[in-house]
Amino acid sequence: MTAAPPAALAAPGSRSPRRRRRGDPLFRGLTRAAAAALLGLVVTMVVLLLIAARPSIDAFGWRFLVTASWNPVTEQFGAVTPIVGTLLSTAIALAAALPVALGIALFLEEICPGPLRTPFSMAIELLAAIPSIVYGMWGLFVLAPLMADHVQPALQATLGRLPLLSHLFAGPPMGIGMLTAGLVLGLMVLPFIASVSGDVLAMVPRQLKESAYGMGATPWEVVRDVMLPYGRKGLFAAVVLGLGRAIGETMAITFVIGNAHRLSASLFAPGNSIASTLANEFTEADGDLYLAALIELGLILFVITFLILGAAQLWLRRMAQPEAGR
């Protein structure tokens, strides 16, 4: 019978069971402490926002959420206009960016020649690294004149003549406004969605695609019936990432949204968002109630983001349940 090797001759990377038992509780304690610290930071932020917004909450109550007036002179404040502007600009951004980003991801994965794939991927990643203020300046000096001179008049001459859509494209074509802000946001979130979607589609097993091609499927059928169903959870996560990027954007949207505290059915009219309101008026808030109203807007933006991302996480879990039951 061969004798057991002595402890000194054990493998260099091996550790004794006693040391492993000491390391596991330490690792669990550190990870739990990190998670608890993060949760405590979020709770602290909410509590501090509630305390700072208390004068506005006491003065307006629930009327703050259903009132559109915003007049610092008379100290009458309402959050409807910034809330609507935030949600509408984010919806326009996703509607504009999602098809293009998904098309870019599919092109890079299925159609793009090999030598060109790396340069195109690097270009998309460089778009994600551009500061938001640069997007805002580009939107103001390049996109806004283009919208005023060409895009908005064309939309009024075509879609603006339809009975159900005429109110969406009414008003003078000024270039700035809700539509321009949504397009700038869409350009900002496009590289994030495209990059993550490309990584997701690259994870589709090649055997699945080759099997579909072997059965006579066309490239479109492979994309529709194999790649998109396989990566739907990852693609949805990419959309959520873009949503989180767009909903709290500040500087880019401040340049082109128009910064007007009024509601309008027209996408050409200037508007406002919660982030742009805070960027424009926080340094000018000279009264306690004015400052508290702005802080309450920040609290509302925090709650909106939390609810949207929480709903997205629940949807992802529901999408994963049928696969877990298989």
Closest CA to 87 of 316, 323, 272, 324: 272
Q: What is the pLDDT of residue 8?
A: 47
Higher pLDDT pick, 284 / 43: 43
**How many distinct helices (H) and strands (E) make up the chain?**
16, 2
pLDDT per residue over 107-136, tens digit each?
Answer: 998 888 888 888 888 888 888 889 999 999
Mapping DSSP to helix (H, G, I), strand (E, B) and coil, where does residue 216 land? coil
Q: Which of 187-191, 234-238, 248-252, 315-319 has the lowest mean pLDDT?
A: 315-319
CATH number, residue 263: 1.10.3720.10
Residue 286 is predicted with a pLDDT of 85
Say how many domains are in the chain: 1
Above 80 in pLDDT, residue 102?
yes
pLDDT at 145: 95
With contact defined as beta carbons under 8 Å apart, do 306 and 247 qualify? no
Tens digits of residue pLDDT in 198-223? 999 999 998 988 898 888 888 889 99
The tokens for 91 are: 């919806």
Band the pLDDT of 311: cuts 50, 70, 90: confident
Mean pLDDT of the chain, nearest integer:
88
Q: Report pLDDT digits (tens) over 3-53.
A: 555 544 445 555 556 655 677 888 888 999 999 999 999 999 999 999 999
The answer, yes or no, to whether residue 283 has pLDDT greater than 90, is no
CA atoms within 13 A on the CB side of 143: 24
Between the CA atoms of 93, 98, 99 and 104, what dihedral angle is there, to the nearest 10 degrees? 120
Average pLDDT for 235-253? 88
Q: Does any domain span residue 32?
A: no
Count of Cβ atoms closer than 10 Å to residue 188 Cβ: 25
Mean pLDDT for the stretch of residues 284-311: 91
How confident is residue 96, by pLDDT bands cut at 50, 70 and 90? Answer: very high
Does 1 score more than 50 pLDDT?
A: no
Distance, CA of 195 to CA of 121 (rounded, Å): 8
What crossing angle do the helices spanning 288-324 and 17-52 adopt, rounded to 10°? Answer: 140
Residue 252 belongs to some domain of the structure: yes
Any domain includes 58: no
Indicate whether 187 belongs to any domain: yes
pLDDT given for residue 164 in this prediction: 84
Looking at per-residue confidence, does 208 or 320 come out higher? 208
Whether residue 247 lies inside any domain: the answer is: yes
Residue 165: DSSP 8-state: T
Lowest mean pLDDT among 22-31, 228-237, 262-271, 283-292: 22-31
Buried/exposed 152-162: b ≥16 CB within 10 Å, e otherwise: beebbeeebee
Domain with 87 in it: 83-287
Q: Measure the CA dihedral 146/86/60/287, to 10°.
A: -60
Average pLDDT of span 243-264: 89
Q: What DSSP character marks residue 73?
A: T
CA-closest candidate to residue 200, choices 121, 102, 90: 102
Share of the chain above pLDDT 70, in %: 91
**Hey, what are 48's tokens?**
């501090």
pLDDT at 18: 61
Does residue 153 belong to any structural domain of this protein?
yes
- CA distances (Å), 64 to each of 56, 262, 265, in order? 8, 15, 21
Q: Tell me the one-letter amino acid at 101.
A: A
For position 128, what pLDDT does the model report? 86
In-domain check, residue 134:
yes
Q: Is residue 124 part of a domain?
A: yes
